[in-house]
Amino acid sequence: MHIRMFFLFLMFTCTVPIGIAQVIPPDRAPLPSDAKIGSYYSVLPLLGYSSDQGFIGGGFLQRINYDINRKPFLSTLKTDLTFSTRGDIISQLQYERTRLFGNDIRSSIDFIGQRERQGHYFGIGNTTPFSSSEFNDGANYYENREFYLNYRIRNGLFSFGENGELDFFGETTFWYVNGISAGEDTRFYQDQPAGFGSNRVFKLGIGFIADSRNNEFSPSKGVRYEVSFNSSQSFLLSDYSFSSMRGDFRHFMPLTDRITLAHRFQAEHTLGNAPFWALPVIGNENGLRGFHRNRFRGESSVLNMIEIRSWLFSVLSGRVDVGMHAFWDTGRVYSEFDSSTFFDGWKRVFGVGGAITLLNPDFIVRGDIGFSNETWRIYFGAGYVF
């Protein structure tokens, strides 16, 4: 049997609080016993093996800096680095801060830098063919060299309800991709889609976020809605001119004290001539879990995700929580090659997973296994998917 994905995880995890002194006025009420102040670090080393990538090593680091005057945190940092003996290097960094230059402005930076020797390309559209034997022979591979940098500034407009805030944001994105063919027999070489070879885009965007969740890391009630518009144009020194619209709508409802129903609906549409790597894509760890990575690309996409989440028990005097969840993802993409009827051709996957908090309720390690009609996939990550 040709094993595509087999990992051994060294979950040798360390969560370290580092206190930072803060002066608390004498007339202020004492802090609750569970109040967090200062920086907390969590480290997760990783070691594994894949028949595609060889031996894999790396690790994940998360730092959350708490402040008694800032909710839910002052700043948070997530960074991970993965490398393989066959030349893959994947690095990611996310940094967010809730106060900027002394003002109540939230800012974030997202960075991806990677050389992926076996990126996945299956074509454009919702009905692209799939063959396990051809996939195993490398027909859907290409080399992906990518640099992605996004900077977002977010400012509150007004409050609503018990916990709700409506924010406006502006963002800028620089995205460079060099897609290299892995051979003349590959689908990538035969199609040579827009974005084949070395290309860049520079995008500007605006949007709104309405958020009433009771917790940003593990919500059990509330909603989070985000709508955005981005544009890449030649006068911005982009190689492609196109625009994209996106809506992401999340709902959380407590069914019992320990069980939460989580729902997400996401829709995205592009206008103009976008490179293949900037098209909406589903079938990965972020949605439609259970298909091969980046299985479906198109000019438009819809995605519906439902999860039932439950925290089962606690150990170490409540410092470690263990939970599980079940999920059902559905969705599809739209292109000039597909039926435009909304409900035609929706893909479906199902799966289960587990979650554990590691000495800090805001640091959650999650594992999922998803099943589709083509294959099954295993995922690990920090925090819930949504």
Q: Domain of 326: which CATH number?
A: 2.40.160.50
Query: Is 9 within the bounds of a domain?
Result: no
Count of domains forming the chain: 1
pLDDT score, position 198: 97
* Contact present, 95 and 76 (Cβ < 8 Å): yes
The DSSP secondary structure of 33-91, one letter per residue, reads TT---EEEEEEEEEEEEETTTEEEEEEEEEEEEEETTEEEEEEEEEEEEEEETTS-EEE
- Cα–Cα distance between 274 and 62 in angstroms, integer? 34
Read off the pLDDT band of 29 (50, 70, 90): low
The residue that leads in pLDDT, 80 or 86, is: 80
Question: pTM of the entire structure?
Answer: 0.89
Q: What is the mean pLDDT of residues 158-172?
A: 95
Query: Is 108 within the bounds of a domain?
Result: yes
pLDDT score, position 24: 43
User: Which residues constitute the domain of residue 144?
Assistant: 14-23+35-382
Q: What is the mean pLDDT of residues 230-254?
A: 97
pLDDT score, position 12: 45
User: What stretch of H or E contains 261?
Assistant: strand 259-272
The alpha carbon torsion through 78, 83, 87, 92 (nearest 10 deg) reads 0
Above 80 in pLDDT, residue 335? yes
Read off the pLDDT band of 90 (50, 70, 90): very high
Tokens of 243: 């625009």
What 3-state class would DSSP assign to 132?
A: helix
Read off the pLDDT band of 31 (50, 70, 90): low
Beta partners for residue 376, in sequence order: 371
Nearest C-alpha neighbor of 383 from the set 362, 359, 360, 352: 362
- Cα–Cα distance between 372 and 267 in angstroms, integer? 21
| Residue 31 DSSP symbol | P
Query: Is 66 within the bounds of a domain?
Result: yes
Above 60 in pLDDT, residue 6? no
pLDDT score, position 266: 98
Query: Is 232 within the bounds of a domain?
Result: yes
- Compute the mean pLDDT over every residue in the chain, rounded to the nearest whole number: 90
pLDDT score, position 305: 98
Above 50 in pLDDT, residue 14? yes
Q: What is the mean pLDDT of residues 207-211?
A: 98
